């Protein structure tokens, strides 16, 4: 893709938020042309306000060329990339059909500059948008999938989050994308990968932009956040010790200066599993031997080798990569959970409260591991390696 023909979709059709729509190139309303001139020697203000990345730092994050538009995506299975629905919507990218979108989609791996270095290029064999996505009614269902013509076997796919309680308001996220590094009309670059760390999600109603059920929202009033071309890019949060995709860039204000909104992956569970069933399990029979299905994930059998409740010395001893220590029971493999929702822990485990919103699954007395005995003191827990927890079992 040449610099002259490259155009970028603003994160989630910001122009449509302003009620403007799209027009034909050289630059649709709500899109910005990539600069023809080489980037300046000094760095641009960066994703906006982020930091340039290096090849291999985010191996699952890809640049997407869809017709004459640029988006971002993430490898979530060997033959599947997740992105925004509007990035693969024929009407939005101005292509005549879904088949034309597929034929016009190119996926760029192993590059942080898709205009200057195409990297490893993989074609698409199919593209899908959530059928409920409506570009004139942004705020929900803005999710898309790209099926790759060739499996990617040298990159471990990023895990995705399918549990809403593990990505509440206040989630700390890292945003990654290939979009503009300055507000529209500025002198930033396009097509270079940037990261923006330590972004804390805020209540979406505080910006008047939708529901927390559907979106992860971020303030951009500090001149940091997503912009044109970041559409479809991941919001990574650390869940059970692993960078996990909790959202994809969907939309924001036209100036990229007030807010950005990401489609939550957990609310899109049905759409995701319909096309990529290997992302989750429905029953124990869907899992390999010695693993069980919990919250659509195949986890090691509780109290079995590396399973929840098993004695551990460090996170490396646990399938969940979380080893917690109890003042009474010693160190055991645990799992992050929500104290307000018992269903975030398997049977025979309870979610112990902490001083923050985090929690950890711990065996209930008599639940198959250990019994602290009636009338015993409350158990204090501290998380090891993956997260820090100050937890207490409820007195019985």
- pLDDT score of 14 more than 70: no
- pLDDT score of 15 more than 70: no
Partner residues linked to 192 by β-bridges: 113
- pLDDT score of 379 more than 90: no
Give the pLDDT band (50/70/90) at residue 154. Answer: very high
State how far the Cα of 89 lies from the Cα of 91, in Å rounded to an integer.
Answer: 6
- Per-residue exposure over 343-365, b if at least 16 CB sit within 10 Å of its own CB, e if not: ebbbebbbbbbbeeebbbbbbbb
- Higher-confidence residue: 166 or 185? 166
Q: 53-57: long-range contacts (C-beta < 8 A, 24 or more apart)?
A: 53/112, 53/176, 53/193, 53/194, 53/195, 54/112, 55/110, 55/111, 55/112, 55/119, 56/110, 57/112, 57/195
Query: Which pTM was predicted?
Result: 0.69
| β-strands 61-66, 80-83 pairing | unpaired
- In the predicted model, what is the mean pLDDT of residues 88-113? 97
The DSSP 8-state label assigned to residue 101 in this structure reads: H
The first and second tokens of residue 235, run together, are 């919001």
State how far the Cα of 284 lies from the Cα of 288, in Å rounded to an integer.
Answer: 8
Q: What is the pLDDT of residues 338-375, one digit of tens each?
A: 888 888 899 999 998 765 666 889 999 866 555 433 33
- In the predicted model, what is the mean pLDDT of residues 274-295? 83
3-state secondary structure of 124: strand
Q: What is the pLDDT of residues 156-176, one digit of tens each?
A: 999 999 888 889 999 999 999
* pLDDT score, position 158: 96
């Amino acid at each position: 893709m040449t610099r002259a023909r490259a155009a970028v979709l603003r994160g989630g059709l910001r122009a449509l938020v302003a009620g403007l729509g799209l027009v034909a190139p050289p630059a649709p309303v709500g899109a910005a042309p990539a600069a023809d001139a080489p980037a300046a020697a000094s760095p641009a203000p960066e994703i906006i306000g982020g930091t340039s990345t290096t090849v291999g730092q985010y191996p699952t994050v890809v640049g997407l060329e869809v017709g004459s538009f640029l988006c971002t995506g993430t490898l979530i299975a060997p033959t599947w990339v997740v992105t925004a629905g509007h990035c693969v919507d024929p009407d939005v990218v101005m292509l005549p059909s879904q088949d034309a979108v597929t034929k016009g989609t190119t996926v760029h791996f192993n590059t942080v500059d898709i205009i200057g270095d195409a990297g490893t290029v993989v074609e698409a064999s199919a593209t899908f948008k959530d059928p409920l996505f409506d570009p004139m009614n942004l705020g929900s269902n803005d999710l898309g999938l790209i099926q790759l013509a060739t499996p990617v076997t040298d990159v471990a796919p990023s895990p995705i989050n399918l549990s809403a309680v593990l990505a509440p308001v206040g989630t700390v996220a890292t945003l990654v994308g290939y979009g503009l590094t300055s507000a529209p009309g500025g002198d930033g670059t396009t097509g270079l990968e940037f990261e923006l760390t330590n972004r804390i999600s805020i209540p979406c109603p505080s910006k008047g932009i939708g529901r927390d059920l559907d979106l992860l929202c971020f303030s951009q009033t500090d001149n940091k956040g997503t912009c044109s071309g970041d559409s479809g890019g991941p919001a990574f949060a650390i869940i059970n010790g692993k960078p996990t995709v909790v959202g994809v860039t969907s939309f924001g204000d036209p100036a990229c200066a007030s807010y950005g909104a990401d489609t939550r992956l957990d609310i899109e569970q049905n759409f995701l599993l319909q096309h990529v069933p290997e992302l989750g399990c429905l029953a124990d029979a869907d899992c390999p031997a010695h693993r069980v299905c919990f919250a659509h994930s195949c986890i090691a059998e509780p109290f079995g080798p590396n399973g929840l409740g098993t004695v551990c010395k460090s996170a490396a001893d646990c399938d969940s990569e979380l080893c917690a220590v109890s003042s009474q029971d010693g160190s055991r493999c645990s799992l992050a959970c929500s104290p307000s929702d018992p269903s975030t822990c398997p049977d025979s485990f309870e979610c112990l409260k902490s001083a923050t919103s985090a929690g950890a699954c711990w065996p209930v007395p008599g639940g198959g591991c250990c019994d602290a005995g009636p009338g015993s003191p409350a158990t204090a827990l501290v998380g090891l390696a993956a997260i820090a927890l100050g937890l207490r079992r409820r007195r019985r």
